[in-house]
Homo-oligomer: A and B are copies of this chain.
Amino acid sequence: MPAVGKHHPRVEGVQKATGSYIYTPDIILPRMLYGKFKRSQFPHAKIVHIDTSRAKKMKGVVAVLTGADLSYNFGIYLNDEPFIARDKVRYCGEPVVAVSAISTEIAVEAVEQIVVEYEELEPILDPLKAMETDSPLVHPDLHTYSVSPIFQAKPHSNICTFVNIEKGDVKKGFDDSYEIFEDTYWSPTVAHAPLETHVTIAQVDLAGKITLWDSTQSPFLVRRELAMSMGIPLNKIRVIVSGIGGGFGGKSYTRIEPITIALAQRSNNRPVKVELTRQEEFEITVHKEPASVYMKTGVTKDGILLARKVRAVYDAGAYAEGSPLVVRNACFTAAGPYNIKHASIEGYCVYTNNLISGPMRGFGTPQLTWAYESQMDTIAAKLNMDPLEIRLKNCIEEGHEMPSGEILKSVGLRQTLEQAAEKIGWKDYRPRKDYGIGIACCHKLSFSPATASAFIRIDEDGSIQLDCATVELGQGSNNTLIQIAAESLGIPFERIAISQPDTDYSPYDQSTTGSRSTFTMGNAVLLACEDLKKQLIKIASRCYGLPEDELSIEAGNIKPGGSDECGLPYEELIQRHFNPRKASLIGKGLYTSTAVLPDVKTGKTPRASAFWMYGTQVALLKVDRETGLLDVKKVVSAYDLGKKINPQGAETQIEGGVIQGLGTVLTEELIIENGSVKNPSFRDYHILTMMDSPEIVPICVEVPHDEGPFGAKGHGELVLNATAPAVANAVFNAVGVRIRDLPLSQEKTFYALCLKSESSE
């Protein structure tokens, strides 16, 4: 293998390391304006009056826009969100007036001159209360919204989606159980916190064509959502993606694009740039859904999981955004990566007047992993079993049936458990005072069925351009896809360049989400390479005067099969074919991953996902009983990724996931009081840095997936799931304290220790 499984420096590495990589905020266009918003200070209020007169008169102000100016709604699954608040605001920070001006300073000043009069409404802030039938409604018009047919909303309620999946007879399961466990786990609002905030530049030409330079993970999804919202053809919108400074799911769908376009449409065809401040990023982009997960589990005396009932309530916040899909997809994993005979899963996605939720790395599954893996150790402790042993006893394997009815294949969970335990020395671990060890495993499905397409072009000098719309977010997709192409074509990695996504040119790709790129786009790239090789073989057949099937390809050369000669390199074939002037050949690949849409009512499907991801983490830590401080010493993190295409990339994905996972368990929580964020800055919202990182040992387990490119499948999303419960289980192991709501902040741990010592005194 010349390219796959080998380390290659990042193709954009030099530019990133030297600060010369172009991110969307770096883009300056001629005559560009800057957009700013007047935002709501209330979580729920009627807009009574808006006075923009002083702002409109200011020199340098070009457009001042309110909800009265446009009637479009957007929303990928429910069109519930106005381009700019109309009549009502539904969350603290919601844009009410937008301004474009020749400088940010003038725009900010103009916003300050705007006066909005509100009539406060009762805010709906608790998702559990919001589900009650007599709750006031965030969206009284829910029944009028267009809802994607893959979801069911409850009209005249705050439930914008609910899911129910049943397997076996859960009542019987509980009846047959030796012991039953019932707990509720809480995951708070967590921010994606990409280092690059959301930024969009919109320009609308006189023919109505909209061009966006957009920090998005999903140029084609954004294009579709906007076209549907505005009722215009897809080819009237162009989305160009530059380098992205982190997404983590927060840039999956449409967010500030509509309001930016609306400004641009009123700004005399001048481009308008909206770049969120850090505070705005914390307040008006999406967040990980806060979730309450009730979990009831029945087990046999020897620790076999017999029945499980899960009731997960996700707070969608003011608008649905991607949350319906998050909830639906997460529910497929809710019973955990265990072979359970009887399961009942209920998932709710609930409107409140909190911040808008949306997909974040893990896509709703970390909230569930937090529940099922915390409870697993509670069960083990009660049954006096080893946490590793109980997991190995129950873990899913090839051929097992999921609650959805899907029969699994290519399951590497056991290997991740075994290898992680082996690496940390689980069996030989000797308890030490205040030290603890904890294990957790997890699984997740991918975003499927989904389509990706790719072009691979070879020029007459043999240099190659790969054009696909996978967005390089820092995850390393450029390297991975180039390696797949280099491997398939049998040429050096360095000969291939890759284009940035641009919807006017790049072939369609659904999105860069759900860990789907290596698998889905990887397959599209392989098909493109096959198509290209077929064209080259055809040319070679003419050159050699031999039928195509008597030729073979070896290391970028085509020659008669079995011959010793070195053959004709691709470029030589192209030069001969297009003599005297030259041209390029282009291979095209279009791949749709295999999965079957579940029944919208029962959630049943023979195949919920094209592939599943599996992993295990073990954490070793020390608890400071005096302060509650958790000092994580080491995390071993083993993930089944089918095949390492890009070993270093795979390992750094795992490392990044551990650090982000540690953030969610140790420090990260958006503090929200009465709908308003109290810590919207990196001073008060603590993400971990490399300096906070413990020793991380990444392990790549390779259980090949027969449909994956070279056996590979995605893993980038799942890698943070197990960290939080592994740490919590280690804390329990160290000091016997069980905390069920994240994060295990120093204060919370300290108080839990106090409480425990009080109760044991």
Q: Is A546 an interface residue (CB 8 A)?
A: no
Partner of A20, one of B205, B450, B461, B506: B205
Query: Shortest Cβ distance from A648 into chain B, in angstroms?
Result: 18
Q: Is A477 an interface residue (CB 8 A)?
A: no
CA distance A27 to B31 in the complex (A): 10
Does A149 lie within 8 Å of B580, measured CB to CB?
Answer: yes
Q: Is A647 an interface residue (CB 8 A)?
A: no
Does B206 lie within 8 Å of A14, measured CB to CB?
Answer: yes
Q: Is A451 an interface residue (CB 8 A)?
A: yes
CA distance A452 to B269 in the complex (A): 34
Does B15 lie within 8 Å of A206, measured CB to CB?
Answer: yes
Does A233 lie within 8 Å of B463, measured CB to CB?
Answer: yes
Partner of A465, one of B18, B235, B465: B235
Q: Is A538 an interface residue (CB 8 A)?
A: no
Query: B-facing mask of A1-43, CB < 8 A → 1, else 0?
Result: 0000000000110110010100000111110000000000000
CA distance A227 to B12 in the complex (A): 21
Does A580 lie within 8 Å of B18, measured CB to CB?
Answer: no
Does A206 lie within 8 Å of B463, measured CB to CB?
Answer: no
Query: Shortest Cβ distance from A31 into chain B, in angstroms?
Result: 9
B-contacting residues, A432-462, CB 8 Å: 449-451, 453, 457, 459-462
Partner of A234, one of B18, B26, B463, B586: B463
CA distance A497 to B205 in the complex (A): 14
Q: Is A581 an interface residue (CB 8 A)?
A: yes
Q: Which residues of B contact A497 (CB under 8 A)?
A: 209, 235-236, 504
B-contacting residues, A352-383, CB 8 Å: none
CA distance A461 to B464 in the complex (A): 32
Does B583 lie within 8 Å of A451, measured CB to CB?
Answer: yes
Does A459 lie within 8 Å of B505, measured CB to CB?
Answer: no
Does A583 lie within 8 Å of B588, measured CB to CB?
Answer: no
Q: Which residues of B contact A586 (CB under 8 A)?
A: 453, 507-508, 588, 590
Query: Shortest Cβ distance from A297 into chain B, in angstroms?
Result: 33
Q: Is A566 an interface residue (CB 8 A)?
A: no
Q: Is A224 an interface residue (CB 8 A)?
A: yes
Residue in B closest to A209 when the chains form the complex, CB atoms:
B497
Q: Which residues of B contact A510 (CB under 8 A)?
A: 581, 583
CA distance A727 to B411 in the complex (A): 84
Q: Which residues of B contact A206 (CB under 8 A)?
A: 14-15, 18, 20
Q: Is A690 an interface residue (CB 8 A)?
A: no
Does B465 lie within 8 Å of A504, measured CB to CB?
Answer: yes
Residue in B closest to A496 when the chains form the complex, CB atoms:
B235
The A contact surface, by secondary structure, is: loop
Partner of A495, one of B30, B233, B506: B233
Q: Which residues of B contact A209 (CB under 8 A)?
A: 497
CA distance A258 to B315 in the complex (A): 58
Does A507 lie within 8 Å of B457, measured CB to CB?
Answer: yes
B-contacting residues, A194-241, CB 8 Å: 205-207, 209, 224, 227, 233-236
Does B224 lie within 8 Å of A582, measured CB to CB?
Answer: yes
CA distance A376 to B696 in the complex (A): 89
Give the size range of A's interface with the partner: 35 or more
Query: B-facing mask of A148-159, CB < 8 A → 1, else 0?
Result: 111000000000
Q: Which residues of B contact A18 (CB under 8 A)?
A: 206
Does B14 lie within 8 Å of A207, measured CB to CB?
Answer: yes
Given the interface pairs A205-B15, A206-B20, the reply to whether A590 lies near B580 with Cβ below 8 Å is no
Query: Shortest Cβ distance from A597 into chain B, in angstroms?
Result: 6
CA distance A506 to B580 in the complex (A): 21
Q: Is A467 an interface residue (CB 8 A)?
A: yes
Residue in B closest to A270 when the chains form the complex, CB atoms:
B20
Query: Shortest Cβ distance from A420 into chain B, in angstroms?
Result: 35
CA distance A508 to B574 in the complex (A): 13
Q: Is A584 an interface residue (CB 8 A)?
A: yes
Q: Is A592 an interface residue (CB 8 A)?
A: yes
B-contacting residues, A461-476, CB 8 Å: 461-465, 467
CA distance A204 to B506 in the complex (A): 23
Interface centre among A11, A30, A496 (most CB of B within 10 A): A30
CA distance A235 to B497 in the complex (A): 6
Q: Is A346 an interface residue (CB 8 A)?
A: no
Partner of A451, one of B27, B457, B462, B578: B578
Does A590 lie within 8 Å of B597, measured CB to CB?
Answer: no
Does A30 lie within 8 Å of B28, measured CB to CB?
Answer: yes
Q: Which residues of B contact A148 (CB under 8 A)?
A: 580
Partner of A459, one of B234, B269, B583: B234
Interface centre among A28, A460, A583 (most CB of B within 10 A): A583
Q: Is A283 an interface residue (CB 8 A)?
A: no
Query: B-facing mask of A489-521, CB < 8 A → 1, else 0?
Result: 000000111010010111110100000000000
Does A207 lie within 8 Å of B15, measured CB to CB?
Answer: yes
Query: Shortest Cβ distance from A435 into chain B, in angstroms?
Result: 47
Q: Which residues of B contact A585 (CB under 8 A)?
A: 590
Q: Which residues of B contact A233 (CB under 8 A)?
A: 459, 461-463, 495
Query: B-facing mask of A336-347, CB < 8 A → 1, else 0?
Result: 000000000000
Q: Which residues of B contact A20 (CB under 8 A)?
A: 205-206, 269
Given the interface pairs A28-B28, A206-B20, the reply to whether A588 lies near B588 with Cβ below 8 Å is yes
Given the interface pairs A205-B15, A234-B460, the reply to whether A507 lies near B584 with Cβ below 8 Å is yes
Could you show 18 A-B contacts with beta carbons less than 8 Å apart? Answer: A15-B206, A20-B206, A27-B30, A28-B28, A224-B582, A227-B461, A233-B495, A451-B578, A451-B581, A451-B583, A453-B583, A453-B586, A459-B508, A467-B504, A502-B505, A507-B586, A510-B581, A586-B590
The 9 A-B pairs with the shortest beta carbon distances in the complex, nearest first, are: A505-B505, A233-B463, A451-B583, A508-B584, A235-B463, A234-B459, A235-B497, A28-B30, A508-B583
Instruction: List 19 additional A-B contacts (Cβ < 8 Å) besides A234-B461, A235-B464, A507-B584.
Output: A11-B207, A14-B207, A15-B207, A18-B206, A20-B205, A26-B30, A233-B459, A233-B462, A233-B495, A235-B463, A451-B582, A499-B505, A505-B505, A508-B583, A510-B581, A578-B592, A580-B597, A583-B592, A586-B588
